[in-house]
Amino acid sequence: MADAQRLRIEGRVQGVGYRDWLTRRARAAGLRGWVRNRIDGSVEALLIGDTGPVEDVIAACRQGPRMAAVTAVQRNADQDDGSKDFRQKPTV
């Protein structure tokens, strides 16, 4: 059974390539799910996969890409939404 974790990443995380960075990182780790900007300035993601790779990507999210300044990563267990790969979704 796959681990599914919903993340809310706060700080300077929009306009710094965070979604592209997370998409590459998640795909390289073999994860499924998605990432999107939120209108409040945060980034939201759903990571689905084996627990080890999910935890590795969550740890990396606390740093983010070079131009990001992450101040908080909130996480909650979630459900596998059936995503076939890892993709970017529109802002909500």
How far apart are alpha carbons 57 and 65 in whole angstroms? 12
Decide if 75 is catalytic.
Answer: no
Identify the active-site residue in 8, 12, 19, 62: 19
Q: Which of 37, 75, 76, 87 is catalytic?
A: 37
Half-sphere exposure of 50 (CA within 13 A, CB side): 5
Q: Is 25 a catalytic residue?
A: no
Query: Which sequence positions are flagged as catalytic?
Result: 19, 37
